[in-house]
Structure 1
Amino acid sequence: MVRLFSLKPLVLALGVAFSAAAAAQSDVSVLPETETAARPEAAETAVGSKGSDTELSLGSTCLVCEPENLKPEAQPEIRRSGEDAPPEHTRITADHIEGQTGVEVKAQGDVIVERNQDILNAPQVHYNQAENTVTAGDTFTLYQNGSTVSGDIITYNLDTGNGTTQNVRLEAEHEGRRLQSVSKQAEISGHNRYKLIHTKFNTCAPGDAAWYIRAESVEADQESGIGVAKHAALVFGGVPVLYTPWADFPLNGNRKSGLLVPTIATGSDGLTLDVPYYFNLAPNLDATLTPSIVSARGVRLGGELRYLQPKYSGEVEGNWMPSDKRSEHDNRYRFKWQHRQQFAPHLSGGVDFNQVSDNDYYRDFYNRTNLTDYVNLNRQAWLGYNNTLWGGRFGSTVSVQKYQTLANELGYKDEPYAILPRLSGSWHKNIGNAEVNLFGQFTHFSHDSKQSAYRTVLHPSIKWDFHNQWGYLRPKIGVNATYYDLKRFGDQPSRNLSRTLPMFSLDSGMTFERNKRLFGSEYLQTLEPRLFYNYIPTKSQNDLPNFDSSENSFSYDQLFRENLYSGSDRINAANSLSAAVQSRLLNPITGAEILRAGIGQKFYLKNDNVLLDGSIGRNERNSSDWVAFAHGNLTDSVRLDTDIHYNRNQRRLEQYAVGLRYRPEAGKVLSLRYKYGHNERIYLQDNGRYLYDKLKQIDVAAQWPLSKNLYAVARYNYEITVKKPLEMLAGVEYKSGCGCWSASVVGHRYVTGENSRKNAVFFNLQLKDLSSIGKSPFEQLRLAVPGYSKPNEVMKP
């Protein structure tokens, strides 16, 4: 019996060494037969050797790359003998074959070796049956499963699984990811261990070597699933930019513990270097430990732990800086824990816990957006139960909540009440055209420096829905009953209070449609008038505490709400009729909304109203201010977003915001926004009162190509009243024409307080299908430039 080898191990050796996601066995097959066939006409074949000293190249190292200028090494066409060989059957076809059965076989001239899906082409092949070794050369090419391996000579021992190849080149694709590499030598030690010597690889297009990883050696052990690279360097534009003496990586695409790519950033705090280390603790448990150096402040240690189970999951994050050279605070930290759990089919719960060491933490370490989000840090735990009850849906929640409130720059803070605990329940059921709703809530409000209390809210209601294709009528009746049990606090005695108010509303609307042709396009236009009547009797509430109520801003949607206040401590008086109309432009084929615009006003049938402090205000009025909006696309390239609030009594614009965006295609965006407020809350003063003043802000942003592959990004947000820029951003982004790499440099300057500001510079280098170096500015650009597109998404190689 003649035994021939499977070349699969070599392909896998190269593929997994370069992080290919494919996985397969590397076995040596024992075949019952070897088929050999000499072609009728023997031909003399010239054999040319590359030579082991030839410098192997992946292609051009030019950074400015265009696909039409690439000059990849020509790949020979795959040569087959004709019919596919039977499974587990080896076929050798050549111009000339000679040898002795059981000793050796020599094939010369356009040799084709086929076994299963593997095809080996070479000028000559020598099979030594005594030593059970096969040798192909002086050049060879191996095709298998979309991968191409070529080189000078390959020698392989079928018994021991040992072998070597010279001047090896690999090109492979798997799941849309392309790999190419060149190596001086490849050593195969057994069926599951490989070593590549003097190797280079990248994930670029053929002939594009703008960057590559160069390593003295790469060793792969299939049994352990680990590969090790020694003396590896990232070469960018022909210049080594990163080096590591040793690195290991997974061979099967699974996660593996090890160093991640360092992150470098610069800004107001000088140079920041993060060096993360990843721990693959279990398939459903991992962690990252990130030591950092912040040149202007000191050393920092960060960490993240993630866990995932069938019934629960969560994340734990934290940072710790033992000493800060720029702050009066030491032992600065941030801690965050989020947990979600399904205890039973109908019972779930969770935890959201946030803590920082001091009031200045977010001002010192985070951007402008985070400053407004992190004033009251949530610390909450809850349980929720949902099930069917009496033919309807029942849901209930029990929660506890206490905030960490951070003081402003002047040292003032207003801490909300803690909720210890809150029990809420709701039940609703549809009976014919009626929907029955029951809502109840019990809350214990606790505070260290304010009067604490228990509050109980009951709110049953019934709403009917009468509708057809062109309109609807929805009457609703309900009762809101609120009970308070106030505790003794200082000189304030304990007492019990209550408030019961009936509520009635009637919502009605109609929809008219017509086909409309605008700007050369066909649309479906709607006209949707709406009337909303609301009645709530007037009741003074100045004897009631206010734990969680605030006045909602006046808007179009507010015209159709029963209560103008959020929370449960204040309920406005109402005997009013809201009249509004909106129109929409729809795509007649898909139904997608193109543009929506509307205008509305509320008419008051009485002058009484409940103010936020609970007292009764009486104003001579018969109608509210006008509110209007328009949101959508004026053309395929132009979008309009505008909201207007007009004060009828003062005959002035109270608030308005207008935004116009021009986006003819992805990567080309011009945006202009203007926001005005006559009497807006600006910031909290040290006396605990807010400063109110006019607000006038202009915001200009853009993303625009400077050349085929180079894009500029910018934003300028200016406050006209105080004559001060709030945020400035400018930068450039570049993507290689061949898609192998992209880079961005963005500078960012923003205010963090009344008299403070910060700077940041983002540099990011993206290597296709491999990794990125530096800190990505994507989130800042997405928020700063409406309609922003990543260069990677704009240009497709």
Structure 2
Amino acid sequence: MRFPLVIACCCLPLNAWAESLSVSRCVVHPPMELLPTEPEQAEAGIAPNQLPIKVNADRSEAVAGDSARFEGNVKLRQGMRQISAQSAEVSQLEGSFSAQGELVYQDPAVAISADSLNADMDDYNAELNRAQYWLRGQQVHGKAEQLKIEGENNLLLSSATFTTCPQDDPDWLLEAKEINIDANEEWGEIWHAKVKLFDVPVFYVPYMTVPVSSKRKSGFLFPEFSTSTKNGVDVAVPYYWNIAPNLDATLTTQYMSSRGLFLRGEGRYLQPYGAGQVNLEYISGDRLLDDSPDRYLIHFEHAGKLENNWRLYGNFTTVSDDNYFNDFDSDVSASTDNQITREGEASYFTDKWDFAVRVQDIEVLGDSSKPFQVMPSLSFDYRNPNLWGPLDFTFGTELTHFAHKESDHLTATRWHMEPTLTLPYQTPAGSLTTEVKLMQTFYEQRDPSDQLEDFVSRTLPQFRLHGQVNFERNSRFGDGSYTQTLEPQFQYLYVPKVDQSDIGLYDTALLQEDYYGLFRDRRFSGLDRIADANQLTLGVSSRFFDGNHAERAQVSVGQILYFDDSEVGLGDDQSQIRSSNSALAAELELQASRRWFLSGSLQFDTQSGDTNKSEVLVDYRANADKLIQLSHRYVPNLGTDTEGNPIDINQAGIRTTWPLSDELYFVGNYYYDLNLSRSVESYAGLQYESCCWAIRLAYYRHLNTNYEDGDFSTISPRDDFDSGVTLKFVLKGLGSSGPLGVQDMLDEGVFNYRRPYYLRN
């Protein structure tokens, strides 16, 4: 829930709400004709109070060198200041000016209507009584018994009101004894204010500041309120600290009735050498855990450069326990992230070569086995296109040391070299690429169990031939004409078989298979296993373009034909190939009409008749705010559970956002496990948003993830599901960090919204 904080000093930064008020019904217009603001003081060196005064009126009386009086349709201009009234008087001796009757004052910053005006022309100050004001270019307006303009358009209002609602009877209104708007700082200071919602006073604030532009300032942001079975009643109060133009921080105090006090801090910096952030999170004595331990998170990330060629990157995260992201809404990661990556890299780039040194440590949450650490890795890549005529040459080498946190574990140093010759041939009608490379790898291993060789040398040549042909024709479907392409392609890959069982697995895993993966030259990530191959990949794609050259559909189908079995694997049957062909892989992206979109992928085993993987997404989009998405995904044989039963993913879902009126939106999603016959996640939210305030009420229920955490010996049992209600409330213009948006409601939960099509315009 978001609402103003009632304390002695309340400074509310980040006025981003104005960007959402672009529709005409939300624009505040003064009930007057705005006069043009021509830059009459453009001459350098002339002070505003030294500029000449120009006056037009129906009648005038003047005493030379003393005073002048004007009656009827008086129009006065001095520089960028403009005044219209029924009568006015100028005293040249006293340097003063007064006006009455249907008075309107305007300058580049403000437009004011008032009963009367008295101005000091020498000091460039003015005083208006019983005034109404509108800040130009902003949604801010209000009334004041007395309004003073001082210096460079600074405003001092007494017995005043302040609102960003466009109507004469605003939904919310701030009444204050005094308001001071600083034109340079672009902030307003308010003393002894009370806020009214629908003309009902809701709270009192002794002092606060509000933004009148997008300029940042330190202060409290709106608190957030929620309740859940996991945390109980949850109230978070963030404080924004604008330390410097390139340095800021957000400090959040969060109280959870079931757990205790949770503190979060995020600092950001922007320097010529790069940008980064630091996150610290801490809860003392989590009451939901039996031992009430302290839990924490530390995170640092930096990305930047030194001079023109050097690039630096660092990322470090540590948490107190494996279930930290499951239990807390962290600013760093979500509950769907099951690993923490810590890495640092320094790299140097030129046109033909680059060099990098990298360290990496990956921690898999909930997994008792720990991955290897890269400590460090040195890589060098050289590129020489057109080495000899059309022949390209590249050379890559990498020297990596794999360490481990356990002192009695396997460690190794690996040196890999990969010179490559490529002969490309490309025309608009197609392409043919011939590639030959030699892969040489040396290992020095330290195996405490003496099961692996201490020194291993592996030499593997590789030959790859890839070709593609592009056909094109005009076609018609219904009333439309399209350009259809047909793009068959093939790839022949040969890598001889070499026994690699004496090499440990340090950074190698089986890669994901899909249509585009059929044309890779590797089956495994990393370098510890390079699979033998004697295979031919055949594939074909077809695309449809409309008369505006926008892609409306694409379909791709492909398969690998194996001439020999692939013996090199990861020690299991799944990573070896003992069949004549791979699964048939297909991809589909289709815009069936202006509103209907379809996306799908399939991996089908033609020999066994089984589906290895499938995913389908259907979108109905009536417009940008109206969406219905249906989805289904199926992945079998992911592993086995503790009882030896196979683990499959077989889930169906629906997601929608739909406006119930111009200001009321509904967002909901529901995902169901077809194997276990139970819901996985559900979410329903209603959001009302007017020009000057917004409110969101949402309900959620999703599965809890619970790792077998080795850091805590006893953990209170977690429920299978976590459910809760969240309420957010924003008064636009009183320091909200931005308007509530429908898109972020779509992104809430485990299954974020994903567009099902990647068609190119």
TM-score class normalised by the smaller sequence: 0.7 to 0.9
CA distance in 2, matches of 1:172, 1:317: 38
Q: Offset of 1:85 from its aligned partner?
A: 12
Distance 1:518-1:311 versus aligned 2 partners, 3 A rule: same
Matched residue SS, 2:675: coil
> Is 1:311 paired with 2:276?
no
Matched residue SS, 1:276: strand
Q: Is the 8 A contact 1:746 1:777 kept in 2?
A: no
Alignment-derived partner of residue 344 in structure 1: 307
Matched residue SS, 2:85: strand
Alignment-derived partner of residue 281 in structure 1: 243
> Is 1:702 paired with 2:656?
yes
Distance 1:111-1:574 versus aligned 2 partners, 3 A rule: same
CA distance in 2, matches of 1:251, 1:577: 65
Matched residue SS, 2:497: coil
Alignment-derived partner of residue 282 in structure 2: 320
Q: Is the 8 A contact 1:642 1:656 kept in 2?
A: yes
Alignment-derived partner of residue 696 in structure 2: 744
Q: Offset of 1:370 from its aligned partner?
A: 5.0
Q: Offset of 1:579 from its aligned partner?
A: 1.0
Q: Offset of 1:539 from its aligned partner?
A: 2.0
Alignment-derived partner of residue 75 in structure 1: 31
Q: Offset of 1:147 from its aligned partner?
A: 4.3
CA distance in 1, matches of 2:453, 2:214: 66
Q: Is the 8 A contact 1:437 1:462 kept in 2?
A: yes
Q: 1:533 aligns with which of 467, 471, 492?
A: 492
Alignment-derived partner of residue 643 in structure 1: 601
Matched residue SS, 2:417: strand
Which whole-Å deviations, capped at 9, do the CAs of 1:450-485 have from their partners, x for residues lacking one?
211111111111111112221111111111122111
> Is 1:358 paired with 2:312?
no
TM (normalized to structure 2)? 0.85
Matched residue SS, 1:565: coil
Q: 1:779 aligns with which of 730, 744, 748?
A: 744
The one-letter code sitting in structure 2 at the alignment partner of 1:387 is T
CA distance in 2, matches of 1:658, 1:85: 65
Between the two structures, name the one with larger relative contact order (CA 8 Å, sep ≥ 6): 2
Distance 1:333-1:587 versus aligned 2 partners, 3 A rule: same
Alignment-derived partner of residue 293 in structure 2: 330
The one-letter code sitting in structure 1 at the alignment partner of 2:661 is S
Distance 1:294-1:18 versus aligned 2 partners, 3 A rule: closer
Q: Offset of 1:606 from its aligned partner?
A: 1.5
The one-letter code sitting in structure 1 at the alignment partner of 2:613 is Q
The one-letter code sitting in structure 1 at the alignment partner of 2:129 is Q
The one-letter code sitting in structure 1 at the alignment partner of 2:439 is N
Q: 1:652 aligns with which of 610, 621, 630?
A: 610
> Is 1:520 paired with 2:483?
no
Q: Offset of 1:338 from its aligned partner?
A: 0.7
Matched residue SS, 1:345: coil
Distance 1:79-1:396 versus aligned 2 partners, 3 A rule: closer
Q: 1:735 aligns with which of 689, 692, 695?
A: 689
CA distance in 1, matches of 2:384, 2:634: 45
Q: Is the 8 A contact 2:302 2:315 kept in 1?
A: yes
CA distance in 1, matches of 2:157, 2:305: 49
Q: Is the 8 A contact 2:360 2:374 kept in 1?
A: yes
Distance 1:549-1:165 versus aligned 2 partners, 3 A rule: same
Alignment-derived partner of residue 714 in structure 1: 668
Q: Is the 8 A contact 2:452 2:504 kept in 1?
A: no
Alignment-derived partner of residue 391 in structure 2: 434
- Aligned runs of 1:210-609 on 2, under 5 Å? 210-220=171-181, 227-241=188-202, 243-248=204-209, 254-268=215-229, 269-327=231-289, 328-366=291-329, 370=333, 373-388=336-351, 393-407=352-366, 412-431=367-386, 432-449=389-406, 450-489=409-448, 495-589=454-548, 591-609=549-567
Larger deviation: 603-612 or 137-146? 137-146
The one-letter code sitting in structure 1 at the alignment partner of 2:746 is L
Which whole-Å deviations, capped at 9, do the CAs of 1:604-639 have from their partners, x for residues lacking one?
111343222289998763222211121131221111
CA distance in 2, matches of 1:730, 1:369: 25
CA distance in 1, matches of 2:577, 2:305: 52
Q: Is the 8 A contact 1:231 1:243 kept in 2?
A: yes
Alignment-derived partner of residue 627 in structure 1: 585
Aligned pair count reads 709
Distance 1:643-1:617 versus aligned 2 partners, 3 A rule: closer
Matched residue SS, 1:613: coil
CA distance in 2, matches of 1:132, 1:145: 23
Q: Is the 8 A contact 1:382 1:400 kept in 2?
A: yes
Q: Offset of 1:224 from its aligned partner?
A: 7.6
> Is 1:157 paired with 2:120?
yes
Q: Offset of 1:299 from its aligned partner?
A: 1.6
Q: Offset of 1:418 from its aligned partner?
A: 0.8
Distance 1:304-1:189 versus aligned 2 partners, 3 A rule: same
Residue ranges of structure 1 left out of the alignment (5+ in a row):
1-16, 22-65, 790-797
Q: Offset of 1:403 from its aligned partner?
A: 3.0
Q: Is the 8 A contact 1:477 1:504 kept in 2?
A: yes
Larger deviation: 129-138 or 625-634? 129-138
CA distance in 2, matches of 1:536, 1:477: 10
Which whole-Å deviations, capped at 9, do the CAs of 1:125-162 have from their partners, x for residues lacking one?
13344543322114411233484211111122345666
The one-letter code sitting in structure 2 at the alignment partner of 1:779 is D
Larger deviation: 177-186 or 148-157? 177-186
CA distance in 2, matches of 1:253, 1:750: 37
CA distance in 2, matches of 1:581, 1:298: 59
The one-letter code sitting in structure 2 at the alignment partner of 1:764 is K
Structure of higher CA gyration radius:
1
Larger deviation: 132-141 or 696-705? 132-141
CA distance in 1, matches of 2:227, 2:578: 59
Q: 2:628 aligns with which of 661, 670, 679?
A: 670
Which whole-Å deviations, capped at 9, do the CAs of 1:395-437 have from their partners, x for residues lacking one?
1111112234432xxxx43221111111111111111322212
Residue ranges of structure 2 left out of the alignment (5+ in a row):
1-10, 16-22, 44-50, 707-718, 757-761
- Aligned runs of 1:746-761 on 2, under 5 Å? 746-753=698-705, 756-761=720-725
CA distance in 2, matches of 1:597, 1:104: 84
Matched residue SS, 2:541: strand
Q: 2:142 aligns with which of 181, 188, 195?
A: 181
CA distance in 1, matches of 2:184, 2:516: 63
Matched residue SS, 1:753: coil
CA distance in 2, matches of 1:381, 1:743: 42
CA distance in 2, matches of 1:285, 1:557: 43
Distance 1:347-1:515 versus aligned 2 partners, 3 A rule: same
CA distance in 2, matches of 1:620, 1:227: 74
CA distance in 2, matches of 1:110, 1:616: 90
Q: Is the 8 A contact 2:326 2:335 kept in 1?
A: no
- Aligned runs of 1:59-138 on 2, under 5 Å? 75-77=31-33, 88-138=51-101
Q: Offset of 1:535 from its aligned partner?
A: 0.6
Q: Is the 8 A contact 1:667 1:788 kept in 2?
A: no
Matched residue SS, 1:534: strand
The one-letter code sitting in structure 1 at the alignment partner of 2:401 is H
Q: Offset of 1:694 from its aligned partner?
A: 2.9
CA distance in 1, matches of 2:611, 2:374: 39
Q: Is the 8 A contact 1:765 1:772 kept in 2?
A: no
CA distance in 2, matches of 1:146, 1:368: 38
How well do the aligned residues superpose, as a CA RMSD in angstroms? 3.5
